[in-house]
């Protein structure tokens, strides 16, 4: 066995020990929610829920039953999207969804405010930094819904296209 393999094996054993310690120390609180297919981060999020550092939100899908997701207070929209993808894939393993395509055509909304726009009270320049979910008004028991995004194409007349072609061809 090479040195790299031995190091990897030791890392895996340390991670397994940490997981066992987390579950053992919080067994009375976590027992109904812990599943065998959970990752260390998910168990840590459940512990944060019990400590008040996280909360549950419900993601309503039009005709399908809602999904309850545990969200940390420091999470951004990117973290929430990843958690939704993991939860949905776990519940429907036979479906193969291209999440990048899905997020291009759908947006999450809380209380009618789309989460792809800056939160109320923030200006357009603030979009360069990611906002926490609490900035959008998401809190314990919030209901998030999916909103379909309609693609808007810039339509140009045939004359404008010809003019642009002429300008680029002459250069």
* 15-73: pLDDT as tens digits: 878 777 776 776 665 556 666 667 777 778 877 888 888 898 999 888 888 888 889 88
Q: How far apart are CA 1 and CA 74, in angstroms?
A: 41
- Find out whether 101 and 93 touch, Cβ atoms under 8 Å: no
* CB neighbour list of residue 87: distance below 8 Å, 6 or more residues apart: 67, 69
Q: Are strands 143-148 and 54-60 parallel, antiparallel or unpaired?
A: parallel
Joined together, the tokens standing for residue 128 give 């360069």
Q: Which residue has the higher pLDDT, 35 or 13?
A: 13
Report the pLDDT value the prediction gives residue 126, as an integer from 0 to 100: 56
**Mean pLDDT value across residues 125-140:** 76
Q: How far apart are CA 140 and CA 97, in angstroms?
A: 28
- Find out whether 145 and 108 touch, Cβ atoms under 8 Å: yes
**Residue 120 predicted with pLDDT over 70:** no
Q: pTM of the prediction?
A: 0.65
| Residue 23, φ and ψ in degrees, nearest 5 | -70, -40
Residue with tokens 């939160």: 119
Q: How far apart are CA 10 and CA 14, in angstroms?
A: 6
DSSP H or E run through 125? none
Nearest Cα residue to 75 out of 119, 132, 31: 132
Q: How far apart are CA 101 and CA 31, in angstroms?
A: 36
**Mean pLDDT value across residues 145-171:** 75
């Amino acid at each position: 066995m090479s040195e790299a393999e031995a190091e990897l094996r030791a890392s895996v054993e340390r991670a397994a020990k940490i997981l066992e310690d987390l579950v053992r120390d919080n067994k009375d609180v976590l027992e109904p929610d812990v599943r065998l297919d959970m990752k260390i981060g998910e168990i840590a999020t459940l512990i944060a829920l019990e400590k008040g550092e996280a909360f549950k939100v419900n993601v309503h899908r039009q005709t399908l039953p809602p999904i309850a997701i545990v969200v940390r207070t420091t999470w951004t929209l990117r973290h929430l999207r990843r958690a939704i993808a993991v939860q949905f894939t776990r519940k429907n393993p036979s479906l193969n969804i291209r999440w990048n395509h899905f997020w291009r055509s759908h947006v999450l909304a809380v209380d009618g405010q789309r989460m792809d726009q800056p939160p109320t009270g923030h200006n357009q320049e603030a979009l360069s930094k990611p906002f926490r979910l609490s900035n959008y008004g998401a809190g314990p028991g919030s209901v998030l819904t999916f909103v379909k995004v309609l693609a808007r194409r810039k339509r140009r007349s045939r004359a404008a296209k010809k003019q642009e072609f002429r300008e680029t061809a002459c250069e």
